[in-house]
Amino acid sequence: MSIDTADLIQRGDTLDPAAWHPLSRGLYDAWRNMWPEGMAKGLLPSREHFDPIAVRQLLPHITLFEVQREPPPMRFRLRLVGTMITRHLHADPTGRWLDELGADPQSFEGLTWVAENRSPSWRRGPKRVGPGRDYGSAETLVVPLAADGVTVDRMLVLSVVYDPEGRPVLR
């Protein structure tokens, strides 16, 4: 199976940043360093710990999601959307709910997993949101944020889109 037709997924203890695109590794490293003293106690960093200036080069590829838990099922609102993401979606979905964008149901499963398990998730496989889902592939890293250190209420998502030959589309 080619990388464009099957999902490669790493979650929790299976994370292997060495296999990721450097942009994904950059966000993962930044997330782990956002609040090291809190994370050493098992707490998650919050949105307030995220310094966009520190990861300026990653911002075009980042989406900030808000997590709504009630009423079930869990929903995800796009709060900030990077310019590379809007370019690939052919629109700016800031403020919209993911379910309004016609996302693949597996997108919700992955985000829900991160929210419930309080742990990052990485995936490479077919694009799941927006036009051209069957064109090339995408690599996505999702890291959780929690205002209270415990309950995930935001998520940073970094996406790298690949062309059909497997080359990252970075411009």
CATH number of residue 159's parent domain? 3.30.450.20
pLDDT at 119 over 90: yes
Given a contact cutoff of 8 angstroms between Cβ atoms, the answer to whether 154 and 64 are in contact is yes
Number of domains in the chain: 1
Can you give the pLDDT at residue 17?
A: 96
Can you give the pLDDT at residue 26?
A: 97
- Give the residue from 36, 9, 41, 2 showing the smallest Cα distance to 124: 9
User: What tens digit of pLDDT does each residue of 40-75 get?
Assistant: 999 999 999 999 999 999 999 999 999 999 988 899
* Predicted TM-score (pTM) of this structure: 0.90
Question: How long is the chain?
Answer: 171
- Examine residue 132 and state whether it is found in any structural domain, yes or no: yes
The number of C-alpha atoms within 13 Å of 3 and in the hemisphere containing its C-beta is 15
Given a contact cutoff of 8 angstroms between Cβ atoms, the answer to whether 159 and 140 are in contact is yes
pLDDT at 6 over 80: no
- Examine residue 152 and state whether it is found in any structural domain, yes or no: yes
Provide the residue range defining the domain that includes 58: 8-164
Can you give the pLDDT at residue 33?
A: 95
Can you give the pLDDT at residue 135?
A: 59
